[in-house]
Amino acid sequence: MNETLKIAVQKSGRLYEGSMKLLKECGIEVSNGNNQLRVQAANFPVEIFFLRDDDIPEYVQDAVADIGFVGENVVYEKNKLVATLEKLGFGKCRLSLAIPKNGSLQKLADLNGQRIATSYPGILSNYLRVKNINASIHEISGSVEIAPRIGLADAICDLVSSGSTLFTNELKELETILQSEAVLISNNQLSTGKKIILESLLFRIRSVKKAKNNKYVLLNAPNDKLDTICNLLPGMRSPTILPLAESGWSSVHSVISEGDFWNIIEKLKTNGAQGILIIPIEKMII
């Protein structure tokens, strides 16, 4: 009997779109047009369960789902027996302590004896213990940022992306507790057949991620500068060099990482490169 890998995905919220986009980029066709809670992929042996983000680690631990796309913050908070296999590169945010902008609290030690509102009592409790801070934790779900304004707490611990919500509520970040992004988690007891499907999925995910972190570059270079330019463009192995119709010039093709992009481009121009084209890579197989 053919096996199917069961994937848990957030049914709504900040990770839903990134999860579905990643599956599409991996060539997996999934339709959730009727807001179904369970759908079968059309062209890959996976079944998608749309669940609450906070429930995904437990469902994966209990083998209701085999793997799940979920925020690192939720994995740490729920502390279930699951394996974290891969960072997925989307849903990036941070879990931070925040205090009123104009209040008396100014440093971490000032939180001693204060009330902190959060949806992440587990992570916060561990952090305060390590930092030797004695504060009371008020667990609430949703709208954590208004807690100081309504007198429920003196400070908050909440997820921050752009910081606009903190600004709107006259709060400022005091300290970052955790950097978070979407990750792929797995049940620890997958069958051999499901492990094979998972490895195939991971291969696709890593190819997509590799492509996003790199750019394809094409340029024209004077032949007397080829050695210098090739040293700037190592590529996956080495740059591809093709002679141009114009004597003394060659076309150079290579791959550069996103992080090195501007620094390398400036050096290429300094060394005589012309007609530089930068092209996004859809998939990258190493």
What is the model's pLDDT at position 124?
A: 98
pLDDT over 60 (residue 1): no
- Residue pair 26/201 in contact by the 8 Å Cβ criterion: yes
pLDDT confidence of 171, banded at 50, 70, 90? very high
Residues 46-91: pLDDT tens digits? 999 999 999 999 999 999 999 999 999 999 999 999 999 999 999 9
CATH fold of 214-280? Alpha-Beta Plaits (3.30.70)
**Range in 7-16, 113-122, 182-191, 226-235 the model is least confident about:** 226-235
The amino acid occupying position 218 is: L
Q: Give the percent of the chain with pLDDT over 90.
A: 78
What is the model's pLDDT at position 275?
A: 92
What is the model's pLDDT at position 34?
A: 58
Same CATH fold, 214-280 and 93-180?
no
pLDDT confidence of 239, banded at 50, 70, 90? confident
pLDDT confidence of 153, banded at 50, 70, 90? very high
Q: How far apart are CA 154 and CA 152, in angstroms?
A: 7
Average pLDDT over residues 157-166: 92
Q: How far apart are CA 100 and CA 97, in angstroms?
A: 11
The amino acid occupying position 141 is: S
- Residue pair 133/109 in contact by the 8 Å Cβ criterion: yes
Residue carrying the six token digits 């729920």: 78
Q: Does domain 93-180 have CATH number 3.40.190.10?
A: yes
- Residue pair 138/111 in contact by the 8 Å Cβ criterion: no
The domain spans of the chain are 5-91+181-211, 93-180, 214-280
CATH of 5-91+181-211 given 3.30.70.260, 3.20.20.70, 3.40.190.10, 3.20.20.105: 3.40.190.10
Average pLDDT over residues 222-228: 93
pLDDT confidence of 236, banded at 50, 70, 90? low
* Mean pLDDT estimate for the chain: 93
What is the model's pLDDT at position 33?
A: 58
What is the model's pLDDT at position 202?
A: 97
Token pair of 255, please? 């791959």
Average pLDDT over residues 1-7: 87
Give residues with Cβ within 8 angstroms of 199, minimum separation 6.
none
pLDDT over 90 (residue 155): yes
